[in-house]
Amino acid sequence: MTIVLIGPPAAGKTRIGKRLAKRLGLPFVDTDAVVVSQHGPIPGIFAEHGEPYFRRLERAAVAEAVAEPGVVSLGGGAILDADTRADLAETRVVLITVQPEAIAKRIANSKRPLVTDIESWKRLVSERRGLYESLADYTADTSSRPIETIVEEIARWAEEGME
């Protein structure tokens, strides 16, 4: 089973993904972490080579990660790639959402190249919302509920699909 977590920056995909993988006894892959480990910090990649270059690196990390069973956390913009969207048709996709009111503390002092403040975050989410929703098999909001509750709900949903 491959479960892919998608959603906007700072929604909590990595935190939830790690715990969900442990709960389900599956490996965990964060595609942003893969890119960083192989190519260096994402802000540096953006500054030195630009977003299109980063998206190619990201695409390669996603293709490799979703080919194996596990829980995979995608960077917020990974779904912009048509090949990635096609890959997701073969997986179970969980959309992790968060309300703007809950995001302010999460993005303070952020090193995210496309999110510099709450307004840039809102614009980015607004632009991608339709894509996120069209790909999702299940949606979980991380704005105010305990992470353990969210992980357990996603795990139950995933296990029901395995029966």
3-state secondary structure of 9: coil
Beta strands in the chain (DSSP E): 2-6, 28-30, 70-73, 92-97, 138-141
* 15 belongs to an annotated ligand binding site: yes
* 145 belongs to an annotated ligand binding site: yes
Pairing of strands 70-73, 2-6: parallel
* 65 belongs to an annotated ligand binding site: no
* 12 belongs to an annotated ligand binding site: yes
* 128 belongs to an annotated ligand binding site: yes
* 13 belongs to an annotated ligand binding site: yes
| Contacts for 35 with CB less than 8 Å, ≥ 6 apart | 42, 45, 54, 57, 58, 61, 75
* 92 belongs to an annotated ligand binding site: no
* 19 belongs to an annotated ligand binding site: no
* 76 belongs to an annotated ligand binding site: yes
DSSP state of 79: G
Cα torsion for 14, 103, 53, 32, to the nearest 10°?
-10
DSSP state of 20: H
**Which residues sit in the known binding site for ATP?**
10-15, 112, 145
Known binding residues for substrate are 32, 55, 76, 128
- Residue numbers in the known binding site are 10-15, 32, 55, 76, 112, 128, 145
